[in-house]
Amino acid sequence: MLVTVLFIFELICCASAELHPLKGPIGGPRGQSWEAKDDLLRQWKIIPDIIDDLPTYKIKLRFSDGWYPTFFVHLMPNDTTIQTAPVSTRWPIESNTTLYTLVMIDPDMPTPKNHEWREYRNWLVGNIPGNSTFDGQIISKYQPPQVPHPGGAHRIFFLVYKQKQKIEFEEKLTDARYDGRERRNFCVRNFSRKYDLGEPVALTMMYVTWRMPI
Ligand SMILES: *[C@@H]1O[C@H](CO)[C@@H](O)[C@H](O)[C@H]1NC(C)=O
Ligand SMILES: *[C@@H]1O[C@H](CO)[C@@H](O)[C@H](O)[C@H]1NC(C)=O
Ligand SMILES: *[C@@H]1O[C@H](CO)[C@@H](O)[C@H](O)[C@H]1NC(C)=O
Ligand SMILES: *[C@@H]1O[C@H](CO)[C@@H](O)[C@H](O)[C@H]1NC(C)=O
């Protein structure tokens, strides 16, 4: 039984699962409830590629030009808005002394079909007091979404995990803007297991395409 579980685990985390083509409207109907996002996440293979269930909360991001992306917003990688880290990150917190970990990943690197670098780590901050991400400990400095080749749009996820206590992270600091190698083949499920983070409590996502809009 344990062997089977580990095998499935490995299959999911080691970039071997074929990604299904993305279909359907982006973001779902306007005004749709958060619970209804569960279907959307399954349709887009976020469940089960990355997470097992819909987290309880949505993460609200704000970028430097005042822009708030909506859930599953469609962007170009050269969109100036996303070239720097969000200036504000919000999710419902238990208290301002509870510590959280924020992860931003791209499971579709370098292309959705040939995602041999799954999962690519764009941003990783741990020991965040409440939602004050900028008071947290940077493990990977924000790197804007990279879409190096044509061949489909990338799903970019932001996940927040609630920590049980302060964590001494072993991961090497990745702080250069384009230091791709160390960021490749991250596995958020393994990371969560290693530090006993459980399931994410909050999520949001973007969808970044290489192609010119029509
Ligand atoms: C992004 O790239 C597209 C295609 O090359 C170009 O048409 C568009 O103007 C660029 N946008 C920005 C903000 O540079
Ligand atoms: C944290 O919460 C306490 C009590 O609710 C409050 O007094 C304190 O000012 C808060 N600290 C920050 C940094 O918001
Ligand atoms: C955290 O959330 C509170 C209320 O939800 C908000 O007032 C505060 O600005 C947030 N902090 C950051 C860094 O976004
Ligand atoms: C995740 O953990 C499994 C089981 O320990 C391991 O076999 C696999 O290589 C890990 N995946 C990554 C991408 O580190």
Give pLDDT tens digits for 99-153.
999 999 999 988 888 889 999 999 999 999 999 999 999 999 999 888 877 777 8
DSSP state of 137: E
Distance (Å, rounded) from C-alpha 110 to C-alpha 179? 14
Residue 23 has a pLDDT of: 41
Task: Name which of 187, 200, 186, 97 is nearest 158 in CA terms.
Answer: 200
Return d(Cα 129, Cα 137) in angstroms, integer: 10
At residue 179, the pLDDT reads: 61
Phi-psi region of 110 (alpha: psi -120 to 50; beta: other; left: phi over 0): alpha
pLDDT at 32: 66
Q: E strands within 55-180?
A: 57-58, 60-62, 73-75, 88-90, 99-106, 120-129, 137-140, 154-162
Cβ–Cβ under 8 Å, residues 59 and 91: yes
Residue 64 pLDDT exceeds 90 = no
Relative to the CA of 186, which ligand 4 atom is closest?
13
* CA separation for the pair 119, 184 (Å, rounded): 6
Name 115's bridge partners.
none
CA 14 to ligand 4 center in whole angstroms: 7
Determine the pLDDT at residue 177.
65
Tokens, residue 29: 């109907």
Residue type, 21: P
Judged by phi (left if over 0) then psi (alpha if -120 to 50, else beta), residue 18 lies in: beta
Confidence at 2, pLDDT banded by 50, 70, 90: very low
> Distance, CA 78 to ligand 1 centroid (Å)?
6
pLDDT of residue 1: 43
For the CA of 6, the nearest atom of ligand 4 = 4
- Ligand 4 center–CA 105 separation, angstroms: 16
- Give, for ligand 4, the residue of 120, 187, 188 to mutate: max count of ligand atoms closer than 8 Å to Cβ: 187
Rounded to an integer, what distance in angstroms lies between the CA atom of residue 142 and that of residue 124?
Answer: 7
pLDDT digits (tens, 9 = 90+) for 4-58: 444 444 444 544 344 333 444 445 555 667 777 777 788 777 888 888 888 888 8
Q: Which two tokens stand for residue 196?
A: 């006993």
Ligand nearest to the CA of 5: 4
Q: Which residue has the higher pLDDT, 96 or 149?
A: 96
Alpha carbon distances (Å) from 77 to 10, 46, 203, 210: 30, 20, 20, 7
Q: Which atom of ligand 1 is nearest to the CA of 79?
A: 13
pLDDT at 186: 93
Instruction: List the Cα angle 72/104/42 in 5-degree steps.
Output: 45
| Predicted TM-score (pTM) of this structure | 0.81
